[in-house]
Amino acid sequence: MDETRLSEQEQIRREKLQELKELGVDPFGSRFNRTHTNTEVIDTYGSFDNETLEEKNETVIVAGRIIRKRVQGKAGFITLQDRDAQLQIYIRQNDVGKIAYQVFLKGDLGDIIGIEGPVFRTRMGELTVKAIKYTHLTKALKPLPDKWGGLQDIEETRRKRYVDLIVNEKSRKVALLRPKIIRSFQKFFDDRGFIEVETPILHPILGGASARPFITHHNTLDMDFYLRIATELPLKRLIVGGLEKVYEIGRLFRNEGMSPQHNPEFTTVEAYEAYSDMAGMMDLVEDVLGYVCYDILGSYEAKYNGKTISFQKGFKRISMTDAIKEATGIDFKNITSFTEAKKLAEKHQINIDKHFDVGHIIEAFFDEFVEKTIVQPTFVYGHPIEISPLAKKSKDNPRFTERFELFIDGREYANAFSELNDPIDQRERFLNQLKERELGNLEANEMDLDYIEALEYGMPPTGGLGIGIDRFIMLLCDVNNIRDIILFPHMKHRNQP
């Protein structure tokens, strides 16, 4: 680094680094064997008064980052932060020796140190470790953000997640809660007899969802591949193969816009169960979301966006056409003419794309007039066949399908249906998707002949679901931006408008 471009703080820290070397201290030390984390110290000794602690006189060895420091002559206090908690350290020259105390004096906020000593309580009653040995482990050459100002630029907190995790307790809590939530999903499906599987990330054919893909090239095969937009078709091949109950938790990739609700790379769980259907998937979604919510929060209720969201069983269920009728007075169950549907769309200022049919207009009405009004978990079912190429037709009306989406607080959280297992019908659906692509719908599915062949071997009646794990983590953590629950979200370049 160009020394002339260093801030005053950075220059001072480099001078201290050199002074540490002159004292014979490695500024970037090696392995340090601690006996306790800060949380373990608090859990083990936190219930004792000072008299009991003095009687025990037990020594602990802890390590972490200096986040606060105050010096009073030949003594001082440090707040030491490790992954889970903060712990006060008391250090005195008479206890650690003159050299070690000099090393302590050269310590800056952000430095990483190790402490050995007994646990006691100060006059104010705070649990504290009295240092009898002070070990410098890592010199921080950059200062931490100001204690009160913090990282003012929200975008910068997401770019520099390593700094955000140091200074922002909520960010650390979210980072630690995320894997617990994912493990909770895993435990639920494992306990229900589902088999966790892994399917390819690189797909030769686009399918399983309506989305624009990322494209890459395999040099050895000289083939273009898509980064998967869904795990659906490989998982249903496994149902054909007789695995009966499978699930996968993994990353999907969609080359689309970014927003507080959308990141191009995101995590979902998809699950498929032979001999089930849309109604079975509704029950399964209620069960899994209630299970995870209670497992993580100890309650079936979660606070989100100032609202109390209940995951008790018994989610509201309403058809898409009935929901639109309640909101607008228009009954699309009785509208089969594209001309009539188009006139209604124009009257309500809804844009019509070239590939639109009546079903697409129905979906557009729902998106415009219904979706944002839903607060409590609600199953919206009966999607038009045009927008559901992989779902079974409704037994009551073949214009619609046995498909539902779960909406909470104006957003989609799950998508599920009775899986289409008729290979002849599936071929026709794929052909219709190809026609949409020709008309400009870049999110339409491609023809997957291998998948059709798999169906020709016979797939049992099957229910399938997909749940957006990132959005559910946002809800349980009461976070409004998806980039705040992903450790390394995709970001624009700093200078990009």
Neighbours of 68 (CB within 10 A): 13
CA distance 428 to 432: 6
Burial 123-151 (b: 16+ CB within 10 A, else e): eeeebbbbbbebbbbbbbbeebbeeeeeb
216: DSSP letter: E
Q: How far is CA 153 from CA 57, 141, 162, 494, in A?
A: 46, 21, 15, 11
Structure tokens at 444: 């339409």
Would you state the pLDDT for residue 76?
97
**Residue with tokens 């390394």, as numbered in its chain:** 488
Would you state the pLDDT for residue 154?
78
CA distance 362 to 224: 35
Neighbours of 17 (CB within 10 A): 17
| E-state strands within 453-494 | 462-468
Would you state the pLDDT for residue 460?
99
Q: What is the pTM of this model?
A: 0.92
Write the pLDDT tens digit of every residue in 151-170. 567 777 888 999 999 999 99
Helices (H) and strands (E) in the chain, counts: 16, 19
The residues, any chain, with a CB within 8 Å of residue 415's CB and separated by 6 or more, are: 403, 404, 405, 406, 465, 466
**Backbone dihedral angles phi then psi of residue 297, each to the nearest 5 degrees:** -105, -15
Would you state the pLDDT for residue 208?
73
445: DSSP letter: P
Would you state the pLDDT for residue 151?
56
Residues of the chain falling short of pLDDT 70? 1-4, 147-152, 494-497
Q: Are 258 and 181 in contact (CB under 8 A)?
A: no
Torsion of CA 455, 456, 459, 460, to 10 degrees: 140
Residue type, 190: D
Strands 112-121 and 127-130: antiparallel
Torsion of CA 33, 35, 40, 45, to 10 degrees: -140
Would you state the pLDDT for residue 145?
86
